Amino acid sequence: MPDSGLSPGQPSLPDPPVTPPPLPGPPTLPFPPAGAAGAGTAAAPAGVADIPVPVTPEPGWIPRGPSGLGTASLSLARHPEGALEAPAPTAPAEGPAIPGLYHHPVAEPDPVRVEEVSLRIKAWAVDEVQAFPPEWEDQFDGFSVGRYMVACHPDAPTVDHLMAATRLMVAENAVDDCYCEDHGGSPIGLGSRLLLAHTALDPLHTTAEYAPDWAESLHSDAPRRAYRSAMEYFVELATPSQSDRYRHDMARLHLGYLAEAAWAETEHVPEVWEYLAMRQFNNFRPCPTITDTVGGYELPADLHASPAMQRVIALAGNATTIVNDLYSYTKEQRSPGLHLNLPVVIAEREGLSEQDAYLKAVEVHNDLMRTFEAEAAELAAACPVPTVLRFLKGVAAWVDGNHYWHRTNTYRYSLPSFW
């Protein structure tokens, strides 16, 4: 949205109706044409951007600090008391947005919160779960996860709420890197590794004889340590329904990992629609699905599980994942081996040049984004319940914050020279 920052002074929403209107099912209309709303930045449709959100800060909320961004990498140097030191605040490098990409600018994330989350997450990663060896420290810092999560969750009432999302993000990336990709990952045996790691999120219920062996296994590698600890923190804030929802979406994520791994083992380049099906599972969906937990409220289970809401969440996850494909394209092209992403699959399957395939992938993203916004607005109008409205606004803020992080993270990403 043009301004996804949320102010504690915004008016409260009206009380919900006693009997909420029925939720519509997923529409059957095709996606709108790519040129329907123009390219580049634009305002969101009414019903999403204009949804007022009540925010009541809890004790411990960190107020907005002075101007300037506190997003420097953190040093492992310690004070005599043993605390990690935070460096002087510095601004992130500003990268260009992809030309023609439909997106919304966001307010710069609160620098005080960014610095606090960055400090806490590194302390957790280093001291509590040993998520990475010292030689990976620059990559951890370059990820800028504190800035990422503060940008994506502007309505989080406390830093503790932000930390719940931040730990899960770091844990998910530890699994992706160590099991699947950059740091020793392999498609061979991935199913077994993912299954055992998933039990750190969805506990094994077994006999007294074998439970200790399972419990010990949760400390055996960095991904499982990170999953176990992050989930323990998360369930302290989440309701049982929210926790189970997250486990479900993580199972979806792991299924997507396995599909991609199967293609890698057989050197199969999927059809474009097959690739998009895989990316609906191997995507960011677990992140926006917890937006209410991070916001300190709950979207009731029946409203979250409705077909219309599930379609909106899926579209948001799909659009944000194609953003990742587009911004990481250059990095992946420079890496050894074939990395599947949407431009690569379009080029291979539709016989297009690299440039034309990339530009078509931008159009796919834009179609997904416009459909997400239109259907979120339709759902907001059909079911104007305060928690539904707030959740939809939170998901939209996550979509915009995700693009902001990809655009500004020049440590990780750069654009191809197609323009």
pLDDT tops 80 at residue 48: no
Res 182: pLDDT = 60
Measure Cα distances from 408 to 297, 350, 389 in Å.
30, 31, 29
Res 88: pLDDT = 37
Are the beta carbons of 144 and 269 closer than 8 angstroms? no
**Least confident residue range of 99-108, 113-122, 179-188, 359-368:** 179-188
Measure Cα distances from 197 to 53, 193, 217, 220, 239 in Å.
36, 6, 9, 10, 22
Nearest to 371 by CA among 2, 52, 102, 105: 102
The tokens for 393 are 């606004």
Are the beta carbons of 408 and 103 closer than 8 angstroms? no
Name the DSSP class of 14: P
Tell me the mean pLDDT in the region 56-81: 29
The tokens for 62 are 């960190």
pLDDT in tens, 3-46: 333 333 333 333 333 344 444 443 332 223 333 333 343 333 33
Q: How far apart are CA 100 and CA 373, in angstroms?
A: 17
Q: How far apart are CA 378 and CA 15, in angstroms?
A: 20
pLDDT in tens, 93-149: 578 999 999 999 999 999 999 999 999 999 999 999 999 889 889 999 999 999 999
Res 221: pLDDT = 94
**Beta strands 75-78 and 84-85: pairing type?**
antiparallel
Nearest to 294 by CA among 154, 159, 402, 156: 156
Task: Please give the share of the chain, as a percent, with pLDDT higher than 70.
Answer: 77
pLDDT band at 184 (very low <50, low <70, confident <90, very high): low
Q: Which residues contact 335 (CB under 8 A, 6 or more apart)?
A: none
Is 185 or 183 the better-scoring residue by pLDDT? 185
Name the DSSP class of 185: -
Tell me the mean pLDDT in the region 191-220: 97
Q: How far apart are CA 385 and CA 13, in angstroms?
A: 9
Tell me the mean pLDDT in the region 337-347: 94
The tokens for 203 are 């506990």
In 11-62, DSSP assigns E strands to none
pLDDT tops 80 at residue 308: yes
Burial of 207 (C-beta count, 10 Å sphere; 0-12/13-18/19+): exposed
Mean residue pLDDT of the chain comes to: 82
pLDDT in tens, 239-250: 999 999 999 999
Res 183: pLDDT = 61
Q: How far apart are CA 71 and CA 87, in angstroms?
A: 9
**DSSP-based three-state secondary structure for 75:** strand
Res 335: pLDDT = 84
Tell me the mean pLDDT in the region 290-310: 98
| Alpha-carbon radius of gyration of the chain | 21
